[in-house]
Structure 1
Amino acid sequence: MAEVAAKAGVSSQTVSRVANNRDNVDEATRAKVLAAMQALGYRPNAAARALVTGKFGALGVVSFDVGAHGNARTLAAIAEAAREAGFSVNFMGVRAQTEAAVRQAFRHLTLQSVDGIVLIESQMLDTSSLHLPANMPVVVADGDTGHQYPNVDFDQARGTRSVVGHLLELGHRTVYHLSGPHDSFAAQRRAAAWEHTLVAAGAPVRPVLYGDWTAESGYLAGRTLAQIPDVTAVFAANDQMALGVLRALHEAGRTVPDEISVAGFDDVPEARFFEPPLTTVHQDFDIVGRHCVTLLLEQIERRSGGPGKLTVEPTLVVRASTAPPSGAGER
């Protein structure tokens, strides 16, 4: 820092203010200091900065299956919001969906000197047995923390009610459901809201089919649905499984939406290009990621210390894959 100060003809305090992106430096001086830094190859010492500020300038993220649409979008939003706040992001992917694997990921991130961690849970965990590092700020996305940690999630019940209600209002006597895995919070909440909506409307509740969020599992379930005579409406718990259902119905000669209406959940970018374009529930994962960073920074800056919950409202997007029952499929 002294060498940078000498080359730029300023004080070391001025170099420190520029390095820490303070605004009490005029632009001409800032430009000279930045040019000196570049010429000398100066990099701020993270350890020294942490001693002064009490912060490492990094956030950690732990997630299952980063290839999943929701997890990937949430992670991207966290990274962008963290960058805007002056933080970098260290990511740890977890293959084994166990409490032990999550504890290990947290230990690795703690050794990397992060200021706080976001857990994108997705699969069900016993957070009471995680025994995460004491005094480490933690926020959970897409999970159920039992009020142990601040939480950000979509209103899964509201989104499900909107799509199932839409199908019932079109005149369908009932709605079949293709759920996600048993160990998924989102799948459980959507299945429960589907059943509650049907019961409240006095509609028959048919047995649930289960998939694993993939289009292949939707295709296999769709082959079963295609053989059930009274199916006129199907709600798949995500868009990828809905895509598989569409393919299976097409192969079986069951037209969509003339004979069977199909709806999904998530509103992936490709959903409007399905054939037919898919009715679905839009989830804004960018908002979830940004809320995660906001709650984490509040803990880091000691503006909030207790558990809290932020709920993001999803919205129904009606496209051409749903219509009133008609023709041979109407019951």
Structure 2
Amino acid sequence: MSRDSSLKRFDPLGEARLCLNRGVPTPGWQTMLLVERVAEAPATGLIGPYGAALLQLTPLQAASCLYGLVSSAKAMAEGRLSMEVTTCLDSGEAYALKAVRPVKATALFAWYLGAFGAELAAFAVASATLHPTMIVPGYMLGAVANGAAAWCGGSQQFLATVPNSFLFVGIAMAGHQTKCFCKNRVAVVGGEGPGFIPAVSILLRFITWTALCFLDLPNGLLPFGSLGRPMGLPVLREKFLEPVTASQEALACFTSQFWISFKPEANGTSMSLTEEVGFGECSWPATGELSSASTIFNTCLLLFAVVLVPFHMCIVVGMLLLNPTYACAADNLPLKEEVEAKQREINDFATQNEQAAGQHVLLSPPPD
């Protein structure tokens, strides 16, 4: 952050003041957000829901884990939308794209939000059903696909693309060359190449995970630690399918036996109406060894995966068929020129605001 900041020091509060004075985020603030979106959010989004699916949760813990999944997916979607611009233009940010293509930028963000939600939920369900060692190779495949696409594009840095993609796993999830508005610029490491290769790896990853979840491995993979735990369809049924059934039955009970009654109460001087709400003999869903909160949480995880994964896969197929930039790295010069022009306008606007606020002189630490 300090390297990209005009303050030349790590000062989040000072950077926030500069953002307010400018009216747009500073480069230092954008760097801080980028680290959170491409490193922290994927890590917590993958580990948190998977770990929670194995535990007995309280209602507060279940709500916190669901919020963490959604907030991580949102941060990753914002980071990916930002990369759509920063990897295509020498100078540009996501807000410039939103200014020139507001509807398309919003639709793209909605897709990425659903896509990363699908990734996080599917990883949690598949890892809890099987084992992370069987699921993580799916992201290794995505990283290798990015490297293969870079090699096909003639990049000399295709080998560096593989570890970079796996380290910043969001790139392995969504693809490095699969950009929707314009192709990567030459300076991006391993950015050359067609997008259909990593896109196919996305489809293959979800298909493979789904198929593996229907295996029956009562003795696990190896008689070593957690690798020897039961895996496959029986675990999927116990941890996810049965909770979905219990939640469905509880919801049907709540909706069918919901009632409201009104009882008038009167005394010597006034009369009041008392309202009572009831659900008959309904109770919160619970199955086997799972608490009610864990049952609801696992139900939500499976529903996210079942709904969002096909949605994401259908859009990927549609983009491959209809968007040459996404599939074949075709360039979009008119859009690039529009975004660059808008970015220059925004930069001028920020400079004027800085000058008006007296911030055009670089701030430096006071002398000792």
TM-score bracket, normalised by the shorter chain, equals under 0.3
Whose strand proportion is higher, 1 or 2? 1
TM-score by length of 1: 0.21
Bigger proportion of residues as helix? 2
Scaled by the length of structure 2, the TM-score of the pair is 0.19
